[in-house]
Amino acid sequence: MSFTRLAFLSVLALRVSLAHYTFPDLIVNGTVTSDWQYVRETANHYTNDPVTDVTSDAIRCYELDSTSAGAAGIATVAAGSTVGFKPNIDLYHPGYLSAYMSPADPAANSDDAGLGSTWFKIWEANPQYSPETGMTFPTQNEDQFTFTIPAATPSGQYLLRGEQIALHVASSVGGAQFYLGCAQINVVNGGNGTPGPTVAFPGAYSATDPGILINIYALPAGYTGYQAPGPAVWSG
Ligand SMILES: *[C@@H]1O[C@H](CO)[C@@H](O)[C@H](O)[C@H]1NC(C)=O
Ligand SMILES: [Cu+2]
């Protein structure tokens, strides 16, 4: 084997081993904001390692420490506008994407925001399935994901939680990898909707949910499609 080819393969191996990520950048008003400007800095800001225990507090916002909330700003966002998250590298893993919101009390940058059954899902991007093609992942390798804050969302401060559940090694309990972050936002020009159903983090997921414990390379006979974990999407 030539040295060049060996070097190439080493780089490839390195890239695979580093294929974890964070979601440090909130996208708002068509602009990618700075790292951790509005997203609470996460404990994996250096390692990029995922959360793998759905019962841990880290599944909520994965904060670095008690300074994460106060250190990040609060972005003003109009209801009905497009927001999103940009990971630090492309979404290398196949998975399921979603976004949740929680009305923040007393403020989006308070440590207590996001506790209790306060989270509602506003968006998701499911793996696709057909018997002919098997399971496919339209969002894999994207460099960002964006979605709309429902126009009916009441004005006020919220945590906005973006998440990918990566499914490449999800065939055993604890194998699915949760990449996530929480942005602090202030929704303006809101509506009169009643967001729901609501869930708590931890609590929303079980390690054995069919959308979390799944062998995407060997789907069971008679498989009919991806079953997303968590509540139904509230579209306002
Ligand atoms: C986004 O645009 C709105 C006006 O529609 C403005 O009030 C808000 O400050 C902007 N947010 C950011 C983070 O730039
Ligand atoms: Cu990874």
In a domain, 211, yes or no: no
Q: How far is CA 197 from the centre of its chain?
A: 18
Which of 199, 46, 79 has its CA nearest to residue 148? Answer: 79
Q: Per the structure, how many domains does the chain have?
A: 1
In a domain, 85, yes or no: yes
Residues 79-112 as b or e (16 or more Cβ within 10 Å = b): bbeebbbbbeeebbbbbbbbbbbbbbeeebbeee
CA of 165 relative to ligand 2 center, distance in Å:
11
Pocket test for ligand 1, best of 25, 26, 29, 34 (most atoms within 8 A of CB): 29
Q: How confident is the model at residue 136 (pLDDT cuts 50, 70, 90)?
A: very high
List of residues 6+ apart from 28 with CB closer than 8 A = 38, 75, 77, 81, 83, 185
Rounded to 5 degrees, φ, ψ at 10 are: -65, -40
Closest Cα to atom 6, ligand 1: which residue? Answer: 76
Which residue range(s) make up the domain with 50? Answer: 18-188
In a domain, 209, yes or no: no
In a domain, 219, yes or no: no
Closest Cα to atom 10, ligand 1: which residue? Answer: 76
CATH number, domain of 94, equals 2.70.50.70
In a domain, 100, yes or no: yes
In a domain, 217, yes or no: no
Q: What's the chain's average pLDDT?
A: 93
Least confident of 52-56, 69-73, 102-106: 102-106
β-pairing, 177-188 with 95-103?
unpaired
- In this prediction the pTM is 0.93
In a domain, 32, yes or no: yes
Which of 41, 33, 40, 88 has its CA nearest to residue 184? Answer: 40
pLDDT beyond 50 at 3: no
Closest Cα to atom 1, ligand 1: which residue? Answer: 29
Compute the distance between CA of residue 122 and CA of residue 197 in angstroms, rounded to an integer: 10
In a domain, 233, yes or no: no
Q: How confident is the model at residue 105 (pLDDT cuts 50, 70, 90)?
A: confident
Tens of pLDDT, residues 29-66: 999 999 999 999 999 999 999 999 999 999 999 999 99
Nearest ligand (C-alpha, residue 79): 1
The amino acid at residue 203 is G
